């Protein structure tokens, strides 16, 4: 049930982008090569607007598969699952890409003081949100899982390229960062194939690449977090960029009228409950945007705004449950609100 609903939402995200995106270009180039597939646990689409061909798309999707084969925590044949299986036992050698993504994730763990933590796996597994049949786990189990979450117990060895989780039962989960990495990897493939303009959509993680022939700016829709129909509440306009959103509407379940979503507090062991419904990040680097959207969601508006200051040319759009929108410094230049049931908070 839950799964099919997520699927529907993901497909709608694709439709949303098509609607909000590049209608001018769409009508000019009706034969744009496009490929859509279910990979990295979500619906991924790459649309070539100028340059590239079927081989470009095939290469992009093989790369996505390879990233899933290395980094998924939901399959038992990946590098991450081997690292998890060997927790408390021994270090596991991983590929360069997995090593890089774990290092990046640990960097964010350090910067956020563990609010963002790739060792959140035991909690993710316990809550199992988005996979059907969810219920609030017993307090004792939440405490036990929480006790295993500690990014400081993840040991990376650059010389042997191994990863070791010091305590048995620890689990890595790269769900908050892997799609961002994947989008950056597709960007490289598009560059190698001399693509001039393209849209990458990895389950709502958007990367608009290059510039269109008519030089018109890209327009990327920010999803209305209240809407199950994939409507957008505003538009981000600009040149090449990535727009990544973390929200409570992505994966969740409702119990006794309360919504439990998939971004977990490593402090409480429960879904983060700070009044936010979504955070979108606009940036040049998708891996950073992905890590930041989750990090800022957890940190909340005040700490999140402060945290963002160390990232140049990166903007954030926070939306709370009272339909108020908080823009980081400079975000007002790229974001236009279109749904007047939402209000922009005073700066
Ligand atoms: P999505 O991938 O659904 O677009 P996010 O990028 O915000 O959304 O990632 C949410 C995912 O990150 C969760 O499904 C889970 O796998 C993982 N996660 C949950 N809580 C944390 C946390 N505190 N730190 C790091 N990763 C987390
Ligand atoms: Mg993220």
- Each of the 347 residues of the chain gets a pLDDT tens digit; together they read 344 444 444 444 444 454 444 433 344 445 789 999 999 999 999 999 999 999 999 999 999 999 999 999 999 999 999 999 999 999 999 999 999 999 999 999 999 999 999 999 999 999 999 888 889 999 999 999 999 999 999 999 999 999 999 999 999 999 999 999 999 999 999 999 999 999 999 998 999 999 999 999 999 999 998 887 778 999 999 999 999 999 998 888 999 999 999 999 999 999 999 999 999 999 999 999 999 999 999 999 999 999 999 999 999 999 999 999 999 999 999 999 999 999 999 76
Task: Please tell me the predicted confidence (pLDDT) of residue 31.
Answer: 75
Question: Which tokens hold the place of 221?
Answer: 């829709």
Of 68, 222, 262, best ligand 1 pocket probe by most atoms within 8 Å of the beta carbon: 262
Name the nearest CA neighbour of 185 among 74, 71, 328, 109: 71
Task: Please tell me the predicted confidence (pLDDT) of residue 11.
Answer: 46
Q: How far is the CA of 344 from the centre of ligand 1 (A)?
A: 26
Q: What global pTM score does this model have?
A: 0.92
Distance between CA atoms of residues 233 and 339, nearest Å = 5
Q: How far is the CA of 290 from the centre of ligand 2 (A)?
A: 4
- 175 CB within 6 A, ligand 1: yes
- 84 CB within 6 A, ligand 1: no
Of 84, 154, 175, best ligand 1 pocket probe by most atoms within 8 Å of the beta carbon: 175
Task: Please tell me the predicted confidence (pLDDT) of residue 347.
Answer: 65
Phi-psi region of 344 (alpha: psi -120 to 50; beta: other; left: phi over 0): beta
Q: How far is the CA of 152 from the centre of ligand 1 (A)?
A: 19
- 146 CB within 6 A, ligand 1: no
> Virtual CA dihedral for 33, 36, 37, 39, nearest 10 degrees?
100
Residue nearest to atom 5 of ligand 1 (CA): 176
For β-strands 205-210 and 197-202, DSSP reports them as antiparallel
Task: Please tell me the predicted confidence (pLDDT) of residue 30.
Answer: 54
Task: Please tell me the predicted confidence (pLDDT) of residue 282.
Answer: 98
- 294 CB within 6 A, ligand 1: yes
Task: Please tell me the predicted confidence (pLDDT) of residue 175.
Answer: 97
Q: Where are the domains of the chain?
A: 6-67+177-344, 72-165
> Virtual CA dihedral for 151, 182, 191, 243, nearest 10 degrees?
-90
- Ligand 1 atom nearest residue 204's Cα: 4
- 250 CB within 6 A, ligand 1: yes
Architecture of domain 72-165: Orthogonal Bundle (1.10)
- 173 CB within 6 A, ligand 1: yes
Instruction: Describe the strand order of the beta sheet including 154-157 as a list of residue ranges.
Output: 92-93, 162-165, 154-157
- Ligand 1 atom nearest residue 130's Cα: 14
Task: Please tell me the predicted confidence (pLDDT) of residue 346.
Answer: 78
Q: Using alpha carbons only, how large is the chain's radius of gyration in Å?
A: 20
Name the nearest CA neighbour of 75 among 4, 146, 178: 178
Q: 3.40.50.1370, 3.40.50.300, 3.40.50.170, 3.10.520.10: which CATH number matches 6-67+177-344?
A: 3.10.520.10
* Nearest ligand to residue 293 Cα: 2
Estimate the crossing angle of helix 286-308 against helix 178-192, to 10 degrees: 130
Find out whether 291 and 108 touch, Cβ atoms under 8 Å: yes
- Ligand 1 atom nearest residue 266's Cα: 23
């Amino acid at each position: 049930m839950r799964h099919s609903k997520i699927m529907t939402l993901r497909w709608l995200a694709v439709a949303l982008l098509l609607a909000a995106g590049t209608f001018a270009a769409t009508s000019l180039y009706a034969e744009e090569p496009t490929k859509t597939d279910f990979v990295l646990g979500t619906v991924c689409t790459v649309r070539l607007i100028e340059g590239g061909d079927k081989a470009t798309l095939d290469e992009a999707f093989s790369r996505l598969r390879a990233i899933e084969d290395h980094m998924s925590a939901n399959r038992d044949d990946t590098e991450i699952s081997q690292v998890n299986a060997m927790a408390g036992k021994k270090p596991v050698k991983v590929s360069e890409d997995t090593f890089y993504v774990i290092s990046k994730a640990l960097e964010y763990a350090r910067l956020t003081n563990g609010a963002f933590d790739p060792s959140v796996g035991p909690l993710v597994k316990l809550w199992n949100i988005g996979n059907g049949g969810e219920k609030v786990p017993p307090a004792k189990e939440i405490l036990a899982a929480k006790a295993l979450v500690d990014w400081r117990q993840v040991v990376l060895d650059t010389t042997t390229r191994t990863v070791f989780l010091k305590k048995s039962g620890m689990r890595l989960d790269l769900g908050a960062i892997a799609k961002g990495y994947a989008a950056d990897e597709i960007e490289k493939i598009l560059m190698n194939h001399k693509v001039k303009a393209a849209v990458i959509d990895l389950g709502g993680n958007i990367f608009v690449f290059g510039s269109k022939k008519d030089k018109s700016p890209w327009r990327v829709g920010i999803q209305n977090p209240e809407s199950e129909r994939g409507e957008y509440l505003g538009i981000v306009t600009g040149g090449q960029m990535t727009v990544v959103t973390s929200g409570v509407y992505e994966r969740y379940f409702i119990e006794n009228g309360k919504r439990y979503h998939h971004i977990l507090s490593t402090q409480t062991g429960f879904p983060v409950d700070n009044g936010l419904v979504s955070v979108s990040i606009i940036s040049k680097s998708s891996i950073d945007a992905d890590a930041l959207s989750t990090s800022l969601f957890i940190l909340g508006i005040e700490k999140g705004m402060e945290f963002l200051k160390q990232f140049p040319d990166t903007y954030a759009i926070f939306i709370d449950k009272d339909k108020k929108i908080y823009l980081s410094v400079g975000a007002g230049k790229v974001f236009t609100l279109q749904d007047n049931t939402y209000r922009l908070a005073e700066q």
